Chain A
C-alpha cells in the first residue's frame, strides 16, 4: 500500500512541478488563478496550453508503461520494448504522411489518426507475416518486426526527401519522430483519459495469463494456455496501447523499456500489480521529462524523446548496476 501512495504522491508532485515549468515559470498561485478562469493572457496560456499538455504527458507515459510491460511479458525478455514490432516505423510513416502530404482533414485530427493507424497497422502486418510464415512465436514475430521496420523506415525517409521544401520543413517531421507531446484540447484530453483507462482494463484482463506465460511455454501449455493464440492476442492488445501513446506523444524513447523494470523492483513480478505500477512510473517519468524538454533551453524546446533517452539512460544503468550488485 505504501508503494501505491508513494507513487501517486510522486505523480501529483511531478504534475505540479511540470505545470509550473516552462520558459517562463509559473507559481502555484498563478496556476490556481488560471484554473479559476482568470482572463489574463498568461493565465489563458497556462490553462489552454500548458495544463492539457502536462496531463497528456502523464497519460502518454502511463500508456507506454502498460505497453512495455505487456511486451516484456509476452516475449519474456527484459529488453523487449513497445516499439519492437514495427510500431515505431509505422507510426513515423503515418505521421510523415500527415505532416507532409496536403490532405483534406485538419492536421490536428490527421496526425494522431495516421500515427495510430501506422503504429497499429505495422504490428498487425508483422503478425500477419509471421502467421503466413507459420511462426507465430516470439522469434518469428521479432524477425518479421525487424524486416517490416526496415521497409517502413525506408519509405518514410523517401517521403521526407521527396515532399519537403522551404515551407514544409523536415524539422517538423524530425521533431515529431524524436517525440513530443501533442497538446490536445481539453476534450481531446478527456478522450485520452478514457482511452488510457480502457487500455488499463484491457491489459489487466491479460495479467493472469501473462504470469502463466512467464513460467515458460511448456509450463503455460500444461496450465491449459493456448500459447500461440495468447501471444497473438497480447501483442495485438499491446500494439493498440502503444499506438494510442504514439498518437498523442510521438516516439518517446526508453520509457516503455525502463518503466516495467522500475515497477518490478517496487511491486514484484506479478502482472496484476505490475501493470498499474508500471503505468504510474511511466507517467511520472514522461511528465518530468516533458517539463525538462519545455523549460531547459529557452526559447527552444528539446524533443521529448531525446530528454528521456539522455536523462533516463544513465539513471536506468545506475539502478540496474545497484540491483545486480545487491
Chain B
C-alpha cells in the first residue's frame, strides 16, 4: 500500500530519483515490519515462571547491581531506564531514576518508567514487592538466582536470549568460560590451600564468612582453594574462635586494607598460620560480592592469591 502510493507519487512527479526514494522507503518499511513482527520470546526463569515478551525489550529495569551489570555487559546499557539505589556500575547508567533502595521497591516508580522488562533477584524485598504487581498489570518480569558461578554464566545467556541478542550473550558467556578454563588449568596442578573469606563483622563480635553453596564460595573453589570451614553451608555467622581454630592457609577480607589490619590485630590472630606466612589479603567486594560479569575478574585475582 505504502509502496503503491509512493510509486504513484513518483509517476506523477515522473522523476527517476523519486522512484529510487520510494524503493528505499519501502525497504526500510519492510525491515521495520520485520522487527515488529518478531517472534515472541518465551523463557522459564529461576522461579520456574514462564515469561513471555512480545518483542525484544527496549526499556529494561534491572533490579540490583548484578543484573544491571549483566545487561550492560551485553552492550545494552542504553536500554536501562531505571536502577536501584545501590547500583554503582557502570557509570553511564547511574543517572537513571531510582526505583528502590534499602527500604523497598516502588511499584509506582517502576511503572512510571514504562518498562517492557524487569529483572529481579530475590534479595531484600525485591521479589516480594515486585513479582505480584508486575504479573497483574502485565509487565514481563524475569527472576534470576545466582547461587554459583555457572548460574551467573547461565544468567548472561538467558538475558541475552530475552533481550533479543542471544548470540551476544553466548559470546560474552563463552569468553568468560574460556577465562575460567585458563584459571582451572593453572590451579589444578598445584596443591589446594585452605581459605576463609570474611565478608563482614557483626556488632556482637560474630563474623560473616563466604559459605559453600554461594557464588562467592564457588568462586573460591574455582580459584583453587578449599573451604577451611566446611559445613558452614547454612549459617553465615561464625565466631572468631571458629576461624582461629580452623587456621586456614589463606585469610581473605572482603573490604579495605585498613580494616584488614584492624582484624588481624585482634588478640591471638597474629599466631594464625596465614598471618605468620603473610598470606592475608584484602579482596574486592564488588568483584566477589556482586554476582555479575566482574566475578570473573574476582576469580582471576583470587587464583593469583591462592597460587602465586
- A residues with a Cβ closer than 8 A to B are 22-24, 41-42, 44-45, 48-49, 99, 108, 162, 165-169, 171-172, 175, 183, 185, 294, 297-302
Contacts and interface: CB of A to CB of B under 8 A. Distances in A.
B146 to A, nearest CB: 9
Contacts of A166: 123, 214
B50 interface: no
A175 B106 contact: no
Contacts of B133: 45, 48-49, 183
Contact of B108 (A24, A168, A302): A24
Contact of A172 (B121, B128, B139): B128
Contacts of B103: 297, 300-302
B101 interface: yes
Given A41-B139, A48-B136, A299-B98, A23 B125 contact: no
B138 A300 contact: no
A160 B3 CA distance: 66
Contacts of B98: 299
- 8 interchain residue pairs of minimum CB distance: A300-B103, A299-B106, A23-B108, A44-B137, A299-B109, A48-B136, A24-B108, A22-B108
B132 interface: yes
Contact of A299 (B99, B123, B128, B234): B99
A167 B230 CA distance: 21
22 contacts: A22-B108, A23-B109, A24-B111, A24-B112, A41-B111, A45-B108, A45-B111, A45-B133, A45-B137, A48-B133, A162-B235, A165-B236, A166-B214, A167-B121, A169-B122, A171-B125, A175-B104, A298-B106, A299-B105, A300-B104, A301-B104, A301-B129
Interface residues of B, number: 34
Contacts of A185: 136
Contact of B111 (A42, A99, A165): A42
Nearest to A22: B108
A301 B124 CA distance: 13
Interface string B131-164: 0110011110000010000000000000000000
Contact of B125 (A42, A108, A162, A175): A175
B171 to A, nearest CB: 29
Contacts of B123: 166-167, 169
Given A22-B108, A23-B109, A175-B125, A49 B136 contact: yes
Given A42-B111, A175-B104, A167 B124 contact: no
A167 B107 contact: no
B100 interface: yes
